[in-house]
Amino acid sequence: MLDILVGGFYGDEGKGKIASFLALKDNPALSVRTGGTNAGHTIVFNGKKLGLRSMPSAFVNPKTELAMAPGSLIRLAILEREINETGTGSRLFIDPHTGVITEEDIEAEKSNAHLNGTVGSTLQGVGSAESRRILRKLKLAKDYSELSKYMTDVPEKVLDALEQGKLVHIESTQGHFLSLYHGEYPYVTSRNTTSSGVLSEVGIGPKYVDNITVIFKSFITRVGGGVLKGELTPEEAKKLGVEEFGTVTGRPRRVSLFDPEVAKRVARINSATQVAITKLDIKFPGAKGVREYSKLPEDAKKWLDEMEAEIGVPVTLAGTGEEAMDTIDMRYKLRK
């Protein structure tokens, strides 16, 4: 069984939280991370908070094997640090074709006025590395002897697990409207962030997919340039309690209110089978820490029902706090 997790807006939707919750709840045999180090996933578990830029958020389950997709990009120093932080070196697998970002890539972006100014790039070297990959100049994981102990054909590993009836999770990074092809170009990232793009990064076909969970937040945020419909002023965002800062950059995030029409379009393009909505407790403070649907405030229940009707896809997961397990599981809707 193959489940894909993708972001629905401009990133920062809480993919790390949902991925870690599902890893603990569903016990996947394997979790594969796509994307690059320009995206940070925040995980809070057992009182410890980590911002991961390479490692799959499923590391919280000690039984789950972890893998980097051939289409993903890593930085050696960041990967080494996260292996040490999570203690996962013995269960990590890296595809030989995984790309490696160098300091040269980072410096190239910092000196690029278009990326640094107009686009508002995170300047983590991801775009430069992708460019060099296309030009056949990028070094891959197989070119680094220090990574040899992790080398594994990840597509084959995924397919073997699926053929054995095991559960595999694929964790995407960033969000739908940062897609190189479907976002508001040029204010986008350097990859296709939709469910189809995620599959291509892993290297397997769509027939294997069972579930696609699109993750939204109860409000919308984005970092960098580009239009943000209904954007709030910093003062309005602070007053509503939706002021946020980027995991990787530390930059303040621009904010607008949840837009169900936009969410519906995203769900359709990504072929969503279910929707997760995080930070419900920010919109409804009485929902904070609630882990059962029956204990939610009535106004929160009503809002979730309304969003489900407007999006047209079952809302099956709701985040009610930072902690991974502060999540309401409503996937029983899929069994009706």
**Active site residue ranges:** 12, 41
User: With contact defined as beta carbons under 8 Å apart, do 237 and 29 qualify?
Assistant: no
Cross-strand bridge partners of residue 30: 65, 168
In angstroms, rounded to a whole number, what is the distance separating the alpha carbons of residues 23 and 58? Answer: 5
Beta-bridge partners for 74: 100
Contact residues for 235 (Cβ-Cβ < 8 A; gap 6+): none
Q: Which of 335, 229, 226 is nearest to 274 (CA)?
A: 335
325: tokens are: 């397990």
Phi-psi region of 303 (alpha: psi -120 to 50; beta: other; left: phi over 0): alpha
Contact 314, 275 (CB under 8 A): yes
Count the neighbouring beta carbons within 10 Å of the beta carbon of residue 195. 22
The number of CA neighbours under 13 Å toward the Cβ of 115 is 18
Q: Is 250 exposed, middle or buried (0-12, 13-18, 19+ CB in 10 A)?
A: exposed
Return the H-helix or E-strand segment holding 109: helix 103-110
Report the run of H or E that residue 266 belongs to, with start and end: helix 260-269
Residues found in the chain = 336
